[in-house]
């Protein structure tokens, strides 16, 4: 069961059409931006994958496609053997029950007019779970997020809760339907450091006890390291590195992953103040640099990198990298 593939992402792409300027209209052009281009990976049942990258790299767009919140413009997602683009109404309802999202900002993820109780029961009604099961499922979800000692919170409104409590409620709402798959988009970035640890521990526990497959989106590798077995690095819409988290973190191969590792904040005075091995910011996704998309910021780039686009290739068992400069390790 563990090795069964739950989610198969095949050459997934998403491009957004931009607002056309007068010039574009006159020349009958439609400017596009590729938010995600040709991403392929598989997620096994019970596996957790971290997706890291800067703001604007397409990680959130990817997460939303995985949950069928937006439709891809290319490629295919297969969830438990079913093509997500060809679901019947009933199948889609079942999918909504099995796949859930944990939002980034707990302060506006819950309806302020709903009590916590109503927010937690809502998904059960929406997906037509028989009513006699509701109380038990909510109680279980509350145990999972360690809010079971806080039953009095159920009749409170979101503004009466702290950030940490709210994020536990958001998490409980995602877990209440006992999904097989969740996407957590920066679930702790809005929280204080002292509270983060609690949420990360809950995520870890859920991973270990519920056998849930999860995609955890973050820009901070230290957080990904804490909850994910596998890590995918994205840069400007493409995967540049993929491998077991431990290997990616201790021996990053792609120059971009190396910069991400070096940028991880550490609470120590004796840390390197060396400038990061990359320059500038994320380029404009409307006109990405030719060749390797990282070439204009990369310390290793040469003319070859600006000509061709490196493919994602396997350099060691389970490790894929898209860089000309990385030799095969096998």
Partner 1 sequence: MLLSVKDLKIHYKTRKGPVHAVDGISFDVPEGKVVGVVGESGCGKTTAVRSLLRVMPSVAAFAGGEAVFDGRDILKLSEREMNDLRWRDIAYIPQSAMNALDPVWRVGDQIVEVLVKRGGMKKAEAKKRAEELFAMVGLEMKRLRDYPHQFSGGMRQRASIALSLALNPRLVIADEPVTALDVIIQRQVLDTFSRLQREFGLSVVLVTHDISVVAYVCDYVVVMYAGKVVEKGPVRDVLTKPSHAYTIGLYNAFPELSADEERELSPIEGGPPLLFHPPEGCRFRARCPFATEICKQEPVEVQVGPEHYSLCHRAHETAELREQAKDPAVWRGVVTA
SS3 94: helix
Rounded least distance, CB 199 to partner 1, Å:
8
Which listed range, 5-13, 128-136, 169-177, 191-199, lies at the site for partner 1 (CB under 8 A)? 191-199
Q: Give the count of beta carbons closer than 10 Å to the beta carbon of residue 188.
A: 27
Kindly identify the residues of this chain, within the stretch 125-164, that bind partner 1 according to CB under 8 A: 162-164
Binding test (CB under 8 A) with partner 1, winner from 145, 174, 217, 223: 223
Binding test (CB under 8 A) with partner 1, winner from 103, 226, 294, 324: 226
Kindly state whether residue 206 participates in binding partner 1, applying the rule CB under 8 A: no
Q: Print the SS3 string covering 286-325.
A: CCCCCCCCCCCCCCCCCHHHHHCCCCCEEEECCEEECCCC
* Residue 128 φ/ψ, nearest 5 degrees: 55, 45
Which listed range, 127-135, 216-224, 286-294, 308-316, lies at the site for partner 1 (CB under 8 A)? 216-224
Task: Tell me how far apart the alpha carbons of residues 81 and 198 are, in angstroms, rounded to a whole number.
Answer: 35
* Closer residue to partner 1 in complex, CB, 41/226: 226
Binding test (CB under 8 A) with partner 1, winner from 23, 81, 265, 317: 265
Residue 29 CB-density burial (10 A; 0-12 exposed, 13-18 middle, 19+ buried): exposed
Query: Residue 125 CA to chain centroid, in angstroms?
Result: 27
* Closer residue to partner 1 in complex, CB, 126/162: 162
Kindly state whether residue 209 participates in binding partner 1, applying the rule CB under 8 A: no
HSE-CB of 33 using CA atoms within 13 angstroms: 17
Residue 172: closest CA among 201, 216, 140: 140
* Closer residue to partner 1 in complex, CB, 147/175: 147
Binding test (CB under 8 A) with partner 1, winner from 49, 62, 120, 200: 200
Binding test (CB under 8 A) with partner 1, winner from 219, 258, 293, 320: 219
Binding test (CB under 8 A) with partner 1, winner from 193, 209, 303, 330: 193
236 to each of 104, 208, 263, how far by Cα in Å? 21, 32, 18
Q: Give me the sheet containing 48-52, strands edge to edge.
A: 99-102, 181-185, 213-218, 48-52, 230-235, 238-244, 319-321, 313-316
Kindly state whether residue 195 participates in binding partner 1, applying the rule CB under 8 A: yes
Residue 267 contacts by C-beta under 8 Å, 6 or more apart in sequence? none
Kindly state whether residue 54 participates in binding partner 1, applying the rule CB under 8 A: yes
Pairing of strands 99-102, 181-185: parallel
Binding mask 229-258 for partner 1 (x = CB under 8 A): -----------------x--x---------
Q: Where are the beta strands (DSSP E) in 142-266?
A: 181-185, 213-218, 230-235, 238-244
Binding test (CB under 8 A) with partner 1, winner from 267, 287, 317, 330: 267
Kindly state whether residue 31 participates in binding partner 1, applying the rule CB under 8 A: no
Kindly identify the residues of this chain, within the stretch 269-328, that bind partner 1 according to CB under 8 A: 269, 271, 273, 275-276, 278, 281-282
* Closer residue to partner 1 in complex, CB, 95/226: 226
Tell me how many residues contact partner 1 (CB under 8 A). 42
Rounded least distance, CB 205 to partner 1, Å:
10
Residues that bind partner 1 (CB under 8 A): 54-56, 162-165, 192-198, 200-201, 219-223, 225-226, 246, 249, 259-261, 263-269, 271, 273, 275-276, 278, 281-282
């Amino acid at each position: 069961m563990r090795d069964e593939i739950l989610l198969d992402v095949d050459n997934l792409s998403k491009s957004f059409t931009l607002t056309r300027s007068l010039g574009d209209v006159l020349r009958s052009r439609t400017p596009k931006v590729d938010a995600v281009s040709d991403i392929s990976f598989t997620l096994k049942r019970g596996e957790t994958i971290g997706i890291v990258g800067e703001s604007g790299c397409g990680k959130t767009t990817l997460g939303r496609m995985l949950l069928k919140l937006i439709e891809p413009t290319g490629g295919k997602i297969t969830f438990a053997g079913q093509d997500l683009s060809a679901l019947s109404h009933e199948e889609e309802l079942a999918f909504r029950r099995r796949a859930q999202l944990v939002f980034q900002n707990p302060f506006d993820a819950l309806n302020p007019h709903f009590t916590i109780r109503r927010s937690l029961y809502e998904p059960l009604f929406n997906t037509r779970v028989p009513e006699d099961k509701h109380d038990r499922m909510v109680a279980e979800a509350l145990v999972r997020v360690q809010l079971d000692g806080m039953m009095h919170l159920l009749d409170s409104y979101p503004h009466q809760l702290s950030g940490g409590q709210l994020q536990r409620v958001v998490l409980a709402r995602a877990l209440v339907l006992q999904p097989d798959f969740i996407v957590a988009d920066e679930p702790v970035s809005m929280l204080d450091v002292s509270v983060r640890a609690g949420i990360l521990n809950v995520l870890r526990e859920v991973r270990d006890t519920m056998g849930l497959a999860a995609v955890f989106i973050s820009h901070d590798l230290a957080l990904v390291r804490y909850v994910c077995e596998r890590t995918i690095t994205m840069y400007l819409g493409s995967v540049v590195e993929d491998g077991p988290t431990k290997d990616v973190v201790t021996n990053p191969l792609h120059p971009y992953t190396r910069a991400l590792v070096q940028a991880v904040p550490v609470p120590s005075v004796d840390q390197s103040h060396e400038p990061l091995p990359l320059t500038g910011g994320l380029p404009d996704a409307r006109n990405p640099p030719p060749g390797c998309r990282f070439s204009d910021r990369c310390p290793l780039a040469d003319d070859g990198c600006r000509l061709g686009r490196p493919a994602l290739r396997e350099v060691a068992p389970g490790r894929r990298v898209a860089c000309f400069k990385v030799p095969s390790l096998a």
